[in-house]
Amino acid sequence: MWAPHATHVEVVIGPPPDRAHGEAGNDPHRARRMAPAERPGWWVAPVEDTDDGRYAFRLDGGDPRPDPRSLSQPDGVHATSALVDLSAYQWGDSDWTGQRLEGAVLYELHLGTFTAEGTLAAATERLDHLVDLGVTMVSLMPVAAFPGRHGWGYDGVALFAVHEPYGGAAALQAFVDAAHRRGLAVCLDVVYNHLGPSGNYLAQFGPYFTDRHQTPWGSAVNLDGPGSDEVRRFVLDNARMWLQDFHLDALRLDAVHALHDERAEHILESLATLADEIAEETGVPRSLIAESDRNDPATVSPRGPGGAGGLGLSGQWADDIHHALHVALSGETQGYYADFDGSEALEKVLTRTPFFHDGSHSTFRGRGHGRPVDLETTPPWRFVASLQTHDQVGNRASGDRLCHTLTTGQAAIGAALLLTAPYTPMLFMGEEWGASTPWQFFTDHSEPELVEGIRTGRAREFAEHGWSAAVPDPQDEGTVVNSQLRWDELSQEPHAALLAWHRTLLRLRGELPDLLSSPLEESSLTRDDGVLVLTRGKVQLVANLAVAPARVRLPVQPGTRHTAAQFGGAAVEGETVTLPAHSVVVLSAAG
């Protein structure tokens, strides 16, 4: 255990006398003095078996605290830690060869609301649905232990421990194992830019945080100041654990623009090197996917010798694609959507670049933003595109999904535009059937001042963005229940039709090579009122976003056109496409 500034460290053995309050007690017979290790700042002591493997650390006579590298927090993040043997799990995925990001289809889910049970075991029972849908990689929102039972997970404080209500470490290993046996890769969302405000005891152990940098969520992690060598080791060891001990195929790195690091080798480059080393050791590819607000292609540009080139991550979320699609489908233009009004944004992100802001002026930011993408060095598959994500749904005032403001036909058009693009697509749980349930923001904090701060802060933020809808109470368990998917909807209309449409589109990604192989900049998009015509090589998508029917005469092209898929009654006769309101057709030319 690392505690460089402590002079007397003890490990307190056994369960706390009062688990309800997380007190480890002061019984001297349960305390064992720790000795300095050879590694500076580290302390060691043998921990004999106890009735349930519980322990905590006490520094210089202070209160017992959980292990910063705890693998289990059975009674919550304020209570004692528990011993876990990660090597005890018997893996059954020896035949798993992995899934690269190139060619992948991601599916983001939150374990607490993906099923009514809210556990890894229950989510495992739904993996066959994802296989049938055409998904190749499950993207789990954070599982690192966080306060209370319910939450999004981005306020995690025990980064090595799997949240106990989800099932703990063994349940995550079993989930990954089950996914691999079905041909599904698993990506995990990890947060290294900050820790949550409740149960965060890291600063008592060492200089894990710095006041040299700030994040919107609190103190920044100390990646470049005094003592940061061990902090970086903490981050890298955490990533190694997920990739090796849990057999995870990818990590999604939250808000990397808030990873403040002024060293010559940025922590992201170190993480990318680690992932490559593990892939080489195991023969199974490992991917790192960044969430970044910078619109900087260097995040995923290949690394070069001597630190030249980019950071070398596998991929990054491209929010501009989401914004352009959202505005085109919904007409919503407040807040950060303002710059994406008009046909230029949609045409640009679907046929030229994943970044609408590639150095252009952002009115939302009041400055220039981003820089151009070289598609030769950073091909489109390195950019993860979406119509909905946990951020874009859950951070709306009432957690309403895009499909809640669209007709089924409009939602089908949105799915077609996303899933015929050469980017790496990602669906948000329930999107494939137009789930009727919202997905809202919820917490389970016990500190009244923290609860009130979250309530008032979110209300103020929504008001600034022009949203006037009532904000659900994050602490109300009904908010969690309202956000749980209703799996009975799959067999009901119009959900069943939308689900079948998503399956068809994902199948076409494999059957029509031009969708992915046609150079992005050689594609074209025209828009005449509400009628869109998108061309990628020999494939054309024709859609009618308007309420009035339309007839479109397509340019003559070599080969024989045939209808690959249609939704909403669109029909083709010769070179003419008849489009009812909110309908779409995908055409392919042979020859």
Cα–Cα distance measured from residue 429 to residue 485, given in angstroms and rounded to the nearest whole number = 8
When computed from its CA atoms, the radius of gyration of the chain, rounded to whole angstroms, is: 25
Q: Do residues 426 and 386 touch, judged by C-beta distance below 8 A?
A: yes
Residue 387: what residue type?
Answer: L
Q: How far apart are CA 517 and CA 537, in angstroms?
A: 9
How far apart CA 444 and CA 435 sit, in angstroms, is 25
Q: For the residues of 506-524, what is the DSSP string, one character each? A: HHHHHH-THHHHS-GGG-E
Q: How far apart are the first and last CA of the chain?
A: 66
* pLDDT for the residue numbered 16: 63
Range of the domain at 555: 519-590
Q: How many CB atoms lie within 10 A of CB 28?
A: 8
- Annotate 319-346 with DSSP letters as a single string: HHHHHHHHHHHH---SGGGGGG-SHHHH
Distance CA 141, CA 188 (A): 6
CB crowding 438-460: b at 16 or more within 10 Å, else e = bbbbbbbbeeeebbeebeeebee
Above 50 in pLDDT, residue 76?
A: yes
Q: Is the pLDDT of residue 306 over 90?
A: no
pLDDT in tens, 206-251: 999 999 888 888 889 999 999 999 999 999 999 999 999 999 999 9
- Of these residues, 224, 254, 261, 320, which one is catalytic? 254
The CATH number given to whatever domain includes residue 554 is 2.60.40.1180
User: Is residue 168, in this structure, part of any structural domain at all?
Assistant: no
User: What's the pLDDT tens digit per position in 332-371?
Assistant: 998 889 999 987 999 999 999 999 999 999 999 999 999 9
pLDDT of residue 296: 96
Q: How many domains does the chain have?
A: 2
Q: Give pLDDT, residue 317.
A: 98
pLDDT tens column, 518-533:
999 999 999 998 999 9
Longest dimension (CA), the chain: 88
More confident residue, 493 or 334: 493
Give the closest residue to 417 by CA, choosing from 571, 409, 559, 297. 409
Q: Which two tokens stand for residue 141?
A: 């929102």
User: How many Cβ atoms from other residues are within 10 Å of residue 245's Cβ?
Assistant: 16
Q: Domain for residue 30, yes or no?
A: yes
φ, ψ for residue 13, nearest 5 deg: -95, 140
Rounded alpha-carbon distances, angstroms, from residue 532 to 405, 422, 524, 544 = 20, 18, 10, 6
Kindly state the tokens that stand for 472: 């659900």
Q: How sure is the predictor about 10, in pLDDT bands with cuts at 50, 70 and 90?
A: very high
pLDDT tier at 517, thresholds 50, 70, 90: very high
The yes-or-no verdict on residue 22 having pLDDT over 60 is: no
* Cis-peptide into 494, omega within 30 deg: yes
* pLDDT 10s digits, 523-566: 999 999 899 999 999 999 999 999 999 999 987 766 678 999 99
- Let me know if residue 4 belongs to a domain: yes
| pLDDT for residue 218 | 82
Identity of the amino acid at 139: S
| Mean pLDDT confidence for 279-294 | 97
Tell me the pLDDT of the chain averaged across its residues.
93
In a domain, 37, yes or no: yes
User: Would you say residue 144 has pLDDT above 90?
Assistant: yes
Residue 24 has pLDDT above 60, yes or no: no
424 lies in some domain: no
In this structure, are residues 135 and 168 in contact, taking their beta carbons and an 8 Å threshold? no
- What is the CA angle 135-248-427, rounded to 5? 25
CA distance 407 to 413: 10
Residue 308: pLDDT band (50, 70, 90) is confident
User: Domain end: 65, 85, 115, which one?
Assistant: 65
Q: Are 416 and 505 in contact (CB under 8 A)?
A: yes
The alpha helices in 519-564, defined as continuous H runs, are none
SS3 breakdown of the chain: % helix, strand, coil, rounded to 5? 30, 20, 45
Type and span of the H or E element at 232: helix 228-244
pLDDT at 471 over 90: no
Query: What phi and psi values does residue 590 have, to the nearest 5 degrees?
Result: -95, 150
Question: Is 17's pLDDT higher than 70?
Answer: no
Mean pLDDT, to the nearest integer, of 316-329? 97
% of the chain residues with pLDDT over 70: 95
Any idea what the Cα angle at residue 569 is, between residues 568 and 570, rounded to 5°?
100
Write down the pLDDT at residue 463. Answer: 66
Q: Is residue 254 part of a domain?
A: no
Question: What pLDDT score was predicted for residue 51?
Answer: 60
pLDDT at residue 21 in the model: 45
For position 108, what pLDDT does the model report? 98
Where does a domain end: 10, 40, 65? 65
Is residue 376 one of the residues assigned to a domain? no
- Residue 144 phi/psi, 5-degree rounding, is -60, 140
pLDDT of residue 394: 93
Q: Spot the catalytic one: 291, 339, 432, 489.
A: 291
Task: Tell me the pLDDT tens digit for each residue of 389-433.
Answer: 999 999 998 999 999 999 999 999 999 999 999 999 999 999 999
Exposure string for 493-508, b = 16+ CB within 10 A, e = fewer: ebbebbbebbebbbeb
Determine the pLDDT at residue 18: 53
Domain boundary among 65, 83, 108: 65
pTM comes to 0.95
Active-site residue, 254 included: yes
Least confident residue range of 148-162, 311-325, 446-460: 446-460
pLDDT for 426 equals: 98
Residue 126 belongs to a domain? no
Range 511-515 average pLDDT: 95
| Residue 523, burial from CB neighbour count under 10 angstroms (0-12, 13-18, 19+) | buried
- In the chain, the percentage of residues whose pLDDT exceeds 90 is 84
Neighbours of 283 (CB within 10 A): 9
